[in-house]
Chains A and B, each alone.
Chain A
Amino acid sequence: MLELREITVNYGSIVALHEISLKVEQGDIVTLIGANGAGKSTTLRTISGLLKPGRGSILYEGEEIGGEPAHKIVARGLSHVPEGRMIFANLSVQENLMMGAYLRKDRAKLRNEFDYVFGMFPRLQERSRQVAGTLSGGEQQMLAIGRALMSKPRCLMLDEPSLGIAPILVKTIFEKIREINKSLGITVLLVEQNANLALEVSHYGYVLETGRIILHDRSEALRANEKVKSAYLGG
């Protein structure tokens, strides 16, 4: 569904990603793990069009999307929940969800998505008229995920959904990610520092180290891998 071929990204003279190749099969949850600064977020930002790749190609559903502006890539059904959530704190919860549905032409059918998101995160429904900036960190993450779902994506990219969230909510959010993947059939590309959680929920994993992919395998195999264990899973 999504394939990166030898993608190189530079920040000025610094090489952030070095000939990264990876594949996300339809219906899978694929995770990208690695330390801070390994290039995980850069990878997602490049796919969603916020950064331009220096070299290499990005294929989505068989078409080259490398270098396309971000707003066109969303229109292709590839949605990105960015690091730090980036919800619109000055808009109400409901308006945030409406913004997620900005490109939808079938506005009459939006009710379905609202129902789905509110069914999944009842807390958002209770607070739908509240200004989003007043939500807790966990609720904001739910909102960011809900907002991305409003565009009816076929592939969802999540950047550090566990960052800065109460541990009890982290569990809920990962359950929801699994549910989104199962019940809606949305392919997920997940970037996560919490490698334990990420490898538990995902089917396939890539390990990123200073801008290079050093290892990739089925998630269970990665969990058993000695190197991954000592470096990322805390022994």
Chain B
Amino acid sequence: MSQFIQQLINGLSLGSIYALIALGYTMIYGVLRFINFAHGDVYMVGAFSGYYLGRWLINSLGMQSSVLLLVVVLVGAMIFCALAGLVIERLAYRPLRNSPRLTVLITAIGVSLFLEYSGQVFFGADPKPFPALIPDRLISFGGLTFTNKGLIVLGVTIVLLIGLTFVVRKTKMGMAMRALSFNPTACSLMGINNNVIISFTFGLGSALAAAAGILSSLNYPVITPLMGLLPGIKAFVAAVLGGIGNIPGAALGGLILGVAETMIVGYGDRIHVPPSYRDAVAFVLLIAILLFKPSGLLGKGTVEKV
């Protein structure tokens, strides 16, 4: 039983990473109706900006690994990626606002390849050790033992989810995001400059991807320019699983995917599934959801009265 709970916590911690990335996919889909395939690479950019910022803080400013260091690196990477997201949207996607969606989709793949291979040019293709932002600790609780990092990932994700929920539900910007995802024409008739809302959404989604990049690098401290590929695809699956365009759905989809993967690693042997099949879990889930509930777990086809 205690092993199961530990696996569950590990799964939720992994799922948090997928959830944070999936939120960006789903929010950007909401306002622009396309899948930003470069989103997984923004996650990579987040990890690398954290890598350079962290190293600079430790080596030049002599900061010690601590919660403060983690927070500074986390916030710094989020701000950097939010700006990067704005620039990507402005340069790559905005000129295509009235183009067919397929054009935008192909451009997204182009942006993805551009980020991956510019990463190899600028950061080098060999894996880099992510700095230890926070000292390792084991926390025992009721006969269970957790690493502090797993709990931090979970905790930071919860805080970010609460913040995001507040922004989306209670602020004027969030309301405009929801309105825009329903009807862009009506939005402009309210006096809303849709481009401002779209930029804001890209910034917000990219900041969450950056947070995911930092948090995952805490647990798996090796980063490479191609590290965004697989988590990017899995988070996309998570977004579809929850119902693309649905924000709570993306978070739920990410958590389910993370737990499912961890459980396969932990208990797969009992049903003759070797742990090495963990990466297949996402795709099995994708096929299943597309067969049985294509609108996703929380997604629903909206009906407009005329």
Contacts and interface: CB of A to CB of B under 8 A. Distances in A.
A74 B192 CA distance: 9
Interface string B1-38: 00000000000000000000000000000000000000
Contacts of B304: 89, 133
Contacts of B193: 69, 71
B192 A164 contact: no
A90 interface: yes
Interface string A59-79: 000000000011100110001
A147 B181 CA distance: 18
A95 B175 contact: yes
Interface stretch (B67-75, B130-138, B182-190): B182-190
B299 to A, nearest CB: 12
A49 B305 CA distance: 25
A88 B305 contact: no
B188 A70 contact: yes
Among B186, B304, B306, the most chain A Cβ lie within 10 Å of the Cβ of B186
B185 A91 contact: no
A69 B188 contact: yes
Contacts, number: 81
B194 to A, nearest CB: 8
B179 A99 contact: yes
Given A49-B188, A88-B182, A103-B190, 19 more contacts: A50-B189, A74-B189, A79-B189, A82-B185, A82-B189, A88-B178, A89-B304, A89-B305, A90-B178, A91-B182, A95-B175, A98-B175, A100-B190, A102-B172, A102-B191, A102-B192, A133-B305, A137-B306, A151-B190
Interface in B155-188: 172, 175-176, 178-179, 181-183, 185-188
B303 interface: yes
A80 B187 CA distance: 11
B302 interface: yes
Contacts of A69: 188, 193
Interface in B120-157: none
The 7 closest A-B pairs by CB, nearest first: A74-B191, A86-B186, A103-B191, A70-B188, A88-B179, A102-B190, A71-B193
A87 interface: yes
Contacts of A43: none
Interface of A: 48-50, 69-71, 74-75, 79-80, 82, 84, 86-91, 95, 98-100, 102-103, 133, 135-137, 140, 147, 151, 164
Contacts of A80: 189
Contacts of A103: 190-191
B172 A86 contact: no
A86 B182 CA distance: 9
B47 to A, nearest CB: 34
A82 B184 CA distance: 13
A70 B176 CA distance: 16
Nearest to A102: B190
Task: Tell me the dominant secondary structure on chain A's binding face.
Answer: loop
Contacts of B172: 98, 102
B190 A99 contact: yes
Contacts of A91: 175, 178-179, 182
16 contacts: A50-B188, A50-B189, A82-B185, A82-B189, A89-B305, A90-B182, A90-B302, A91-B178, A95-B175, A95-B178, A99-B179, A99-B190, A102-B192, A133-B304, A147-B190, A151-B191
Contacts of A75: 191
Contact of B305 (A70, A137, A147): A137
A192 to B, nearest CB: 17
Contacts of B190: 71, 74, 99-100, 102-103, 147, 151
B248 to A, nearest CB: 13
Contact of B302 (A82, A89, A95, A136): A89
Contacts of B302: 89-90, 133
A137 B194 CA distance: 27
B276 to A, nearest CB: 42
A89 B188 contact: no
A133 B305 CA distance: 7
Interface in B281-298: none
Nearest to B305: A137
A99 B185 contact: no
Nearest to B186: A86
Contact of A71 (B178, B181, B191, B305): B191
A71 B192 contact: yes
A102 B176 contact: yes
A89 B181 CA distance: 11
Given A90-B178, A91-B178, A99-B179, A140 B189 contact: no
Among A87, A88, A100, the most chain B Cβ lie within 10 Å of the Cβ of A88
